[in-house]
Amino acid sequence: MNSKKKIKDPEPLVAPGKFNLWLLMLASSMLFASLVSAFIVHKPDAQAKSTWTAFDLPIFFLVSVLIAVISSVTIFVAFKAAKNDELNTNKTFLALTLGLGLAFCVTQYLGWKQLVALDLTLVNARPEDISASYVWMITGVHVLHVLGGIILLGLALSKAFKLEIHKKSMTLMSIAHTYWHFVGLLWIFLYLFLYFAQ
Amino acid sequence: MSTAALHAEHEAHHEHKESFISKYVFSMDHKMISKQFLITGIVMGMIGMIMSLLFRLQLAWPDDQFSIIETLLGKWGVDGKLDPNFYMGLVTIHGTIMVFYVLTAGLSGTFSNLLIPLQVGARDMASPFMNMLSYWFFFMSSVVLLISVGVETGPASGGWTVYPPLSALDKAMPGSGLGMTLWLVAIVLFIVSSLLGGINYISTVLNQRTKGMSMNRLPLTIWAFFFTAVLGLLSFPVLLGAGLFLIFDRSFGTSFYLSDIYLEGVGALENIGGSPVLYQHLFWFLGHPEVYIILMPALGITSEVISCNARKPIFGYTAMIISLLGISFLSFIVWGHHMFITGMNPFLGSVFMILTLIIAVPSAVKAFNYLTTLWKGNLRFTPAMLFSIGLVSFFISGGLTGIYLGNAALDIQMHDSYFVVAHFHLVMGSAAIFGMFAGIYHWFPRMYGRMMNNTLGYFHFWITFICAYLVFFPMHFMGLAGVPRRYYQFTLVEQFDVWIDVNKLITVSAIVAGAAQLLFLYNFFVSVFRGKKAAQNPWGANTLEWSSPIDVRLHGNWPGDLPTVYRGPYEYSRPDREEDFFPQYVPDESAPEVLEPEKAKSAPAEKEVEEESSVFFAAIKRVFGLG
């Protein structure tokens, strides 16, 4: 190239990473919409054949809801701290959120163990338990999303320890923040759905 | 600054050495990725076409033997006779390849990648890395699908819609074994590819437009790619959901789709309580938007090519956008018209029917707008223009039969007959592939800096056009007479025996059409290396892609600053101009924004990146030009 001129392109209005994240969350929402609508469409059909039983969700899933709420607060604090250049608070609360994320996975695991103890397995032990298969699918796909969030939090934390997250470098922090709220809200929605729709 | 902008700056400062791998293989340049999509699409298209010729031979001459079948298919074509199971496999894989691999990835992948950054004035896609991943997922998916054709039990053979329980039980037929598993793997990879691509397309169109490129100055190609990407983003995850249930039913023993099944040699299955119709709901929630994912990029390309080669502004720019929006919206609420005979409530059927018939309105708006754009234009019959007009022809003749099939009462009669085959091959298959050819002929100079041979292009067009009608038009009559699709040999059914001569006509026409594609291949590959060097703007077009140098490969698209856009894309033959086109990037010396730049009406420029909390509203503001 001959041009020696310094090129300065205008910044896009929204950071591309963040924009893509919103679209990815939209696509994810559609995936859950498909699982949830399958549940809704299937239920009357299966009820007519008496292959659908309503059962109490494991108590650990409710604990997961609590963790989702608390970790949404902690990630918010971490995010605000980073924006105000309070790097230590940021690190502490990021680590706290990461810990809560892992705790979330543990409660999910314990919830699944409770289901197994009741013979409510993914592959139906009894023909009338199609509803249990849905609970497994929906919680399983959600946990995969949470694992994605944990990876994001881990990346953000390692960046925070390298002092690369601060007022002027917020992209990864805000991506992790938005996504974590997304999986948290998603779980609250799914829990309420599974609680009431059965 | 985005990665691509950094890259452009980097390149502007010193000669850039790239390795073969980073330049041609794991390239992050959207122009190279578009070529990768195109070449892969062409290869897959040839394979899909050869498959169709093989099963057409069987349909026309069911009692004859063809040594080529044995040579190509080995144990599936012993003594030159096509094996019935493999016939079903060929039909299935032909459909899958054409729908997903050629007309979704090959068409939308190629031209969205090439044109979105160039026509909106961006250095590259929002995320070049995701863009590269999108291609390589597509590539892996293609490889897996092709491998599935070669496995011992044969490829998936339950039709491209892979309805359970046939597809969910590996003992149901040979093709439901390993071939079906690989089909599902391929489709999951394909969904990932198409989501990665679609996210980039939407994000680039909404967020990375250059100064002055407001939404109402976007070329219709971009509008079409944008709506296509939105459809894909919202519908492919649903197919993923459907696929997940199917995978679990197949491999882990769940009963989402399976209930009360008796298999010969196996006995009654344990699965109880599943709902096979559930799969159809989920599948067609993707499946119907999918046909618009296929068609809309072709419609967008046609808008651009027809306007440019008629030297006239497109008739009804806003109406074109609104009709695309209408088609996109309606496409999500009509899936039930594929399921009229599943025993759905007739009232629900009539709701789906009314919604389906409403699609005729935006479609007709588009057809009339094409015709009125052509009306009294200074038509230049380039090969691209001919293919675009061909698209309009197929869109009308195939679209009209959609009105028949959308009627529940008629569809119950014509469902699964050759009438359906004729309908979708004309309106979606032929129309979309003609849009793709139009795009290739039109943007070939932009891709390779050379021109394709026009004479070969004319031969290619006329032979393909005539043969496409010869192949698909007679199928309407077969369908009306009740000939069912997917049958291996209907000479065995006495009442369909009369159609054998028509079948021969169809097969011969298909072979001739196939031969014409060899002309295209020759033209394409020879022109890549030996074609006449193209001028910078060979068609006298208005859009931004022709302002970026076509003779040097430049990651970042423009050597200097990004171009500024001063007007809409269709200002052809303005009476106050000497030339019959007025590019978007050329300032008008008498215009107020040039005389008083501070009053220029332009897209919001170098603003601070918005706060997290207002990202969504910022996007909304940007979309509606309020920012």
ipTM of model: 0.93
Q: Return the SS3 of B535.
A: coil
CATH code for the domain in which residue B149 is found: 1.20.210.10
Least confident of A170-179, B168-177, B513-522, B589-598: B589-598
In angstroms, what separates the C-alpha of B534 from chain A's closest C-alpha? Answer: 21
Spatial distance between the Cα atoms of A172 and A159, rounded to a whole number of angstroms: 9
Q: Are B288 and B374 within one domain? A: yes
Length of chain B in residues, anyone? 627
Would you state the pLDDT for residue B600? 52
Q: How many structural domains are present in chain B? A: 2
Backbone angles phi, psi at B18, to 5 degrees: -120, 145
pLDDT, tens digit (0-9, with 9 covering 90-100), for A111-127 = 999 999 998 988 887 87
pLDDT, tens digit (0-9, with 9 covering 90-100), for B142-153 = 999 999 999 999
CB contact under 8 A, B562 and A133: no
Is B583 within the bounds of a domain? no
CB contact under 8 A, A170 and B245: no
Q: Average pLDDT of chain B?
A: 90
In angstroms, what separates the C-alpha of B382 from chain A's closest C-alpha? Answer: 34
Q: Are B439 and B343 within one domain? A: yes
Is B105 within the bounds of a domain? yes
Is B522 within the bounds of a domain? yes
Is B183 within the bounds of a domain? yes
Q: Are B433 and B287 within one domain? A: yes
Is B71 within the bounds of a domain? yes
Is B539 within the bounds of a domain? no
Q: Are B478 and B606 within one domain? A: no
pLDDT, tens digit (0-9, with 9 covering 90-100), for B61-109 = 999 999 999 999 999 999 999 999 999 999 999 999 999 999 999 999 9
CB contact under 8 A, A1 and B12: yes
Q: Using the predicted structure, report yes or no on whether residue B535 has a pLDDT greater than 50.
A: yes
Q: Are B481 and B611 within one domain? A: no
Q: Are B520 and B603 within one domain? A: no
Q: Are B496 and B606 within one domain? A: no
Q: Are B508 and B625 within one domain? A: no
Would you state the pLDDT for residue B568? 92
Residue where a domain stops, chosen among B501, B530, B559: B530
In angstroms, what separates the C-alpha of B329 from chain A's closest C-alpha? Answer: 15
Q: Are B611 and B518 within one domain? A: no
Chain A residues near residue B254 by CB distance under 8 angstroms: 122-124, 133
CB contact under 8 A, A137 and B123: no
Residue where a domain stops, chosen among B510, B530, B550: B530
Spatial distance between the Cα atoms of B556 and B493, rounded to a whole number of angstroms: 62
Length of chain A in residues, anyone? 198
Which of B30, B196, B205, B245 has the highest number of chain A CBs within 10 A, making it the mutation to test binding with A? B245
Would you state the pLDDT for residue B24? 85
Q: Are B482 and B613 within one domain? A: no
**Cα four-point dihedral sign B232, B237, B239, B240:** positive
Within chain B, what is the greatest distance between any pair of CA atoms?
A: 85
CB contact under 8 A, B253 and A123: yes
In angstroms, what separates the C-alpha of B361 from chain A's closest C-alpha? Answer: 28
Which residue matches tokens 């983003």?
Answer: B233
Domain span at residue B614? 592-627
CB contact under 8 A, A30 and B242: no
CB contact under 8 A, A49 and B282: no
Would you state the pLDDT for residue A93? 96
Cβ atoms of B188 and B236 within 8 Å: the answer is no
Is B372 within the bounds of a domain? yes
Which of B116, B124, B203 has the highest number of chain A CBs within 10 A, making it the mutation to test binding with A? B203
Q: Using the predicted structure, report yes or no on whether residue B55 has a pLDDT greater than 80.
A: yes
Q: Are B612 and B524 within one domain? A: no
Q: Which residues contact B360 (CB under 8 A, 6 or more apart)?
A: B399, B402, B403
Would you state the pLDDT for residue B620? 64
In angstroms, what separates the C-alpha of B603 from chain A's closest C-alpha? Answer: 10
In chain A, the domains with their CATH numbers are 54-197 (1.20.120.80)
CB contact under 8 A, A130 and B274: yes
Confidence at B19, pLDDT banded by 50, 70, 90? confident
Spatial distance between the Cα atoms of A158 and A176, rounded to a whole number of angstroms: 13
CB contact under 8 A, A38 and B615: no
Is B567 within the bounds of a domain? no
Q: Are B338 and B471 within one domain? A: yes
Q: Which residues contact B605 (CB under 8 A, 6 or more apart)?
A: A10, B211
Cβ atoms of B535 and B378 within 8 Å: the answer is no
In angstroms, what separates the C-alpha of B428 from chain A's closest C-alpha? Answer: 25
Q: Using the predicted structure, report yes or no on whether residue B260 has a pLDDT greater than 50.
A: yes
CB contact under 8 A, B606 and A1: no
List the single residue in B with minimal CA-CA distance to A33.
B238
Chain A residues near residue B208 by CB distance under 8 angstroms: 12, 16
